[in-house]
Amino acid sequence: MTAPVSFVRDDIRAMTAYHVADVPEGFIKLDAMESPCHPFAGDASLMAQWQETLAQAALNLYPNPAASGLQQALRDAFQIPDAAQIALGNGSDELIQFITLLTAKAGATMLAVEPSFVMYKHNAALFGMNYVGVPLNEDFTLNLPAVLTAIETHNPALVFIAYPNNPTGVCFKREEVEAVIRTAKGIVVVDEAYGAFSHDSFLPQAGSIANLVVMRTVSKIGFAGIRIGYAAGCAKIMNELAKILPPYNMNQLSLATAKFAMRHFDRINANILILKQEREQMLKELSAIGRLKAYPSEANFITLHVPDAQILFETMKQAKILIKKLHGAHPLLEQCVRITVGSPEQNDAVLAVLRRTYSS
Ligand SMILES: *Cc1c(COP(=O)(O)O)cnc(C)c1O
């Protein structure tokens, strides 16, 4: 008799699941770029208003993401151009999945740089696309000639550029990304998951460049728990995407929370500003520690090259701090770790371990 599991696609059976770290009690969690605190913490009145908003959410009704008012709230908060059409996703992860599905014709190619967000390549495999990964330079800058050559050689249907990049934190040069968008005939997704922490954005161009889709998320600015991402681009492409997105992919509680958050964006912005200041302070302190190298970051995390990533990971763990070990994920990430920028107290705890480990 054939085992039921043998009917599952062989390529999926050969995959390993995305590992979500399980965090012991009392640990400082700095592995996934989450915000250190609840976005409305410390403001009792705001908290009460939000709870009232949630209490009024229509739990008995299917959500209507298009008519929820969130799209307009996002336009207002982030000055998304009128020319752009917006799609909402259950996290930008879901949008990556459906944009990939949209272009996954037989024989089509996805192109991304490496190392970058692992979900791009994963989705290419999931939907049977060819995948071309172009290595970054050793300092994690874009190897533009190599990228342009690869685009001309493979004519990708879909290009993903994380701007700033994850897991490196480096933001590529704007002119280089413009050259990629200009050269590619297919759709170029500029993934601005960390856009709020960066000096630059392609959001103002959304809707006016035919092959550009700008993708963002509220996950890294305090709302990883509500799973809301959005993409903005020209109607021609976004109309096609709308055909395949599940009609009820968002939930009423998340929609209500996100709308509420956009109305109180000054509060969220204040949190972003604190994290940016903390990042700059950390980079300064890190530059004084001899045996490690911190890469420049425009995100809410810092990538470090250290003498031994595994030992640092274990040492942090003993200090009840969970960080991300990048070593082993890509040759360019040898002996690298990635640490989320947290609260001032959490960052002090990280710096104390680093100083103790590497100042000799
Ligand atoms: C975190 C991250 C995402 C996923 O964000 P969600 O909206 O939480 O799904 C997408 N792209 C990059 C580059 C990220 O780092």
The pLDDT assigned to 42 comes to 87
Does the C-beta of 222 come closer than 6 Å to ligand 1?
no
Strand partners, 189: 160, 213
The pLDDT assigned to 148 comes to 98
What atom of ligand 1 comes closest to residue 89's alpha carbon? Answer: 7
Nearest residue by C-alpha to atom 12 in ligand 1: 193
| Domain-located, residue 52 | no
Q: Are residues 111 and 13 in the same domain?
A: no
The Å distance, Cα 32 to ligand 1 centre, comes to 10
Give yes or no for residue 64 having a pLDDT over 90.
no
Nearest residue by C-alpha to atom 5 in ligand 1: 92
pLDDT in tens, 8-48: 999 999 988 877 777 888 999 999 999 999 999 989 999 99
The pLDDT assigned to 17 comes to 83
The mean pLDDT value for 336-345 works out to: 98
Q: Are residues 246 and 138 in the same domain?
A: yes
pLDDT in tens, 184-233: 999 999 999 999 999 999 999 999 999 999 999 999 999 999 999 999 99
Give yes or no for residue 264 having a pLDDT over 70.
yes
What atom of ligand 1 comes closest to residue 217's alpha carbon? Answer: 7
Which of 212, 242, 263 is the last residue before a domain boundary?
263
Q: Are residues 215 and 350 in the same domain?
A: no
| Domain-located, residue 53 | no
Does the C-beta of 117 come closer than 6 Å to ligand 1?
yes
Q: How confident is the model at residue 360 (pLDDT cuts 50, 70, 90)?
A: low
Please choose from 93, 168, 198, 218 the residue to mutate so as to test ligand 1's pocket, defined by most ligand atoms within 8 A of CB.
93
User: Could you count the other beta carbons within 10 Å of the beta carbon of residue 47?
Assistant: 14
- Phi first, then psi: give them for residue 198, nearest 5 degrees: -105, 165
| Domain-located, residue 55 | no
Nearest residue by C-alpha to atom 14 in ligand 1: 193
Q: What is the pTM of this model?
A: 0.96
| Percentage of the residues of the chain whose pLDDT score is greater than 90 | 93
The Å distance, Cα 288 to ligand 1 centre, comes to 31
Does the C-beta of 229 come closer than 6 Å to ligand 1?
yes
Alpha-carbon gap, residue 308 to 5, rounded angstroms: 40
pLDDT in tens, 105-127: 999 999 999 999 999 999 999 99
Residue 285 belongs to domain with CATH number: 3.90.1150.10
DSSP letter, residue 162: E
Give yes or no for residue 262 having a pLDDT over 80.
yes
| Domain-located, residue 211 | yes
Q: Are 88 and 238 in contact (CB under 8 A)?
A: no
The pLDDT assigned to 175 comes to 98
| Domain-located, residue 258 | yes
The mean pLDDT value for 131-137 works out to: 98
| Domain-located, residue 48 | no
The Å distance, Cα 193 to ligand 1 centre, comes to 5
The pLDDT assigned to 21 comes to 74
The pLDDT assigned to 18 comes to 77
Q: Are residues 354 and 250 in the same domain?
A: no
The Å distance, Cα 194 to ligand 1 centre, comes to 8
What atom of ligand 1 comes closest to residue 219's alpha carbon? Answer: 8
Q: Are residues 256 and 322 in the same domain?
A: no
Report the mean per-residue pLDDT for the chain: 96
Number of alpha carbons in the 13 Å side-chain half-sphere of residue 342: 21
The Å distance, Cα 93 to ligand 1 centre, comes to 6
Does the C-beta of 201 come closer than 6 Å to ligand 1?
no
Does the C-beta of 221 come closer than 6 Å to ligand 1?
no
Please choose from 120, 163, 191 the residue to mutate so as to test ligand 1's pocket, defined by most ligand atoms within 8 A of CB.
191
Alpha-carbon gap, residue 42 to 162, rounded angstroms: 33
Strands of the sheet containing 229-233, edge to edge, are 85-89, 229-233, 212-217, 187-191, 158-162, 109-114, 130-135
The Å distance, Cα 92 to ligand 1 centre, comes to 6
Alpha-carbon gap, residue 343 to 18, rounded angstroms: 27
Residue 200 belongs to domain with CATH number: 3.40.640.10
The pLDDT assigned to 67 comes to 76
Give yes or no for residue 169 having a pLDDT over 70.
yes
Please choose from 90, 170, 220 the residue to mutate so as to test ligand 1's pocket, defined by most ligand atoms within 8 A of CB.
220
Which of 215, 232, 263 is the last residue before a domain boundary?
263
Give yes or no for residue 53 having a pLDDT over 70.
yes
Using the structure block, give the residue that is written with the tokens 């685009």. 151
The pLDDT assigned to 114 comes to 98
The Å distance, Cα 77 to ligand 1 centre, comes to 19
Q: Which of 147, 202, 140, 214 is nearest to 170 (CA)?
A: 140
Tally of domains in the chain:
2
The pLDDT assigned to 329 comes to 96
SS (H, E, C) 59-102: CCCCCCHHHCCHHHHHHHHHCCCCCCEEEEECCHHHHHHHHHHH
Q: How many residues does the chain have?
A: 360
What atom of ligand 1 comes closest to residue 165's alpha carbon? Answer: 13
- Expressed as residue numbers, the domain containing 26 is 5-43+266-358
Does the C-beta of 219 come closer than 6 Å to ligand 1?
yes
The Å distance, Cα 2 to ligand 1 centre, comes to 39
